């Protein structure tokens, strides 16, 4: 298995359901990806920030229970909180209280990784986002890179600046996953397939867009692959994209398409192999939406 370094935020998700009930779940998109990877037996380390407070302690315990190794950057901030409100259709809307600095020297962690994943708030809130850019640039010399923009419009600022930073990271990634909502915010009115092709042309061999109940599209070196949706009773969508991302990286790692030599093999792999990986990632996301909170599946739950 690859030694995967996930770089990004942890957040305590306070989830309010349609009937007004509020529960707290450890979350944050990169943290959820790290948990998903660990549950799929990947060697996952999360580089993050946590406050010295009860929320931080709860998140650390959650990560440890999943098998994630946690490396905390120097931080004097409190643990970030996200308030997710679940509508009648199960979809979540978010409000955030978060700071992100990623202070300190993380060179040893980056040097020891064979694959680096980042995205979400961590890639867009300065000053931490500038540190993420440095990590991506350094990682490319010896590791594969994956990225999920996971745009939080209420946090990331003016659209053109977000597009510029997103495209900078996309161009330095090998694998990118985005939702149709991300793409619609970044490029209003542009067809999803057109964005995928443009991103593929800029650097990554594989770009995937999740389309919710409509399935997903994958662009492999410019070729569009359509993946049919899975029918499932939705409890909520919290963490679904993160489960998809974790299973996507895990599936590619098992196929030898990320990690040592992965960049070269991904550049020539066949569409059938990638389709199988993407379909498996969709199954992981379907399991997650069938239960409350960001609760990615294990290998056993994927039937493996």
CATH class in words for 3-289? alpha beta
Residue 143 burial (CB < 10 Å; 0-12/13-18/19+)?
Answer: buried
Q: Tell me: the pLDDT tens digits for 17-68?
A: 878 888 888 889 999 999 999 999 999 999 999 988 888 999 999 999 999 9
Q: How far is CA 283 from CA 64, 105, 176, 216, 301, in A?
A: 25, 37, 18, 12, 10
> For 43-64, b where at least 16 C-beta lie within 10 A, e where not — what string?
bbbbbbbbbeeebbebbbebbe
Enumerate the domain spans of the chain.
Answer: 3-289
What is the pLDDT at residue 206? 98
Q: If residue 61 lies in a helix (H) or strand (E), which one and from where to where?
A: helix 54-66
Which residues have a Cβ under 8 Å from the Cβ of 283 and sit 6 or more positions away? 230, 247, 302
| pTM of the full structure | 0.92
Residue 271 above 90 pLDDT? yes
């Amino acid at each position: 298995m690859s030694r995967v370094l996930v770089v990004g935020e942890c957040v305590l998700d306070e989830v309010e359901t349609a009937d007004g009930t509020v529960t707290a779940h450890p979350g944050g998109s990169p943290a959820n990806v790290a948990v998903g990877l660990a549950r799929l037996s990947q060697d996952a380390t999360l580089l993050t920030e946590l406050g010295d407070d009860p929320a931080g302690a709860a998140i650390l315990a959650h990560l440890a229970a999943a098998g994630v190794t946690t490396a905390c950057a120097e931080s004097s901030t409190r643990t970030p909180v996200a308030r997710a409100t679940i509508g009648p259709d199960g979809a979540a809307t978010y409000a955030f209280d978060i700071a992100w600095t990623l202070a300190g020297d993380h060179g040893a962690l980056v040097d020891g990784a064979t694959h680096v994943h980042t995205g979400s708030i961590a890639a867009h809130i300065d000053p931490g986002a500038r540190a993420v850019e440095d990590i991506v640039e350094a990682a490319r010399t010896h590791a594969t890179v994956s990225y999920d923009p996971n745009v939080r419009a209420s946090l990331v600022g003016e659209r053109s600046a977000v597009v510029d930073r997103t495209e900078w990271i996309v161009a330095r990634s090998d694998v990118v996953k985005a939702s149709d909502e991300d793409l619609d915010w970044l490029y209003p009115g542009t067809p999803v397939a057109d964005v995928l092709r443009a991103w593929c042309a800029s650097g990554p061999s594989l770009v995937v867009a999740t389309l919710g109940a409509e399935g997903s599209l994958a662009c492999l070196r410019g070729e569009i692959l359509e993946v049919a949706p899975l029918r499932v009773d939705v409890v909520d969508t919290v963490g679904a994209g993160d489960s998809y991302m974790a299973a996507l990286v895990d599936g590619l790692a098992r196929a030898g398409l990320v990690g040592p030599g992965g960049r070269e093999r991904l550049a020539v792999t066949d569409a059938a192999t990638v389709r199988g990986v993407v379909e498996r990632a969709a199954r992981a996301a379907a399991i997650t939406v069938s239960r409350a909170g960001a609760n990615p599946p294990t290998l056993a739950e994927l039937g493996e």
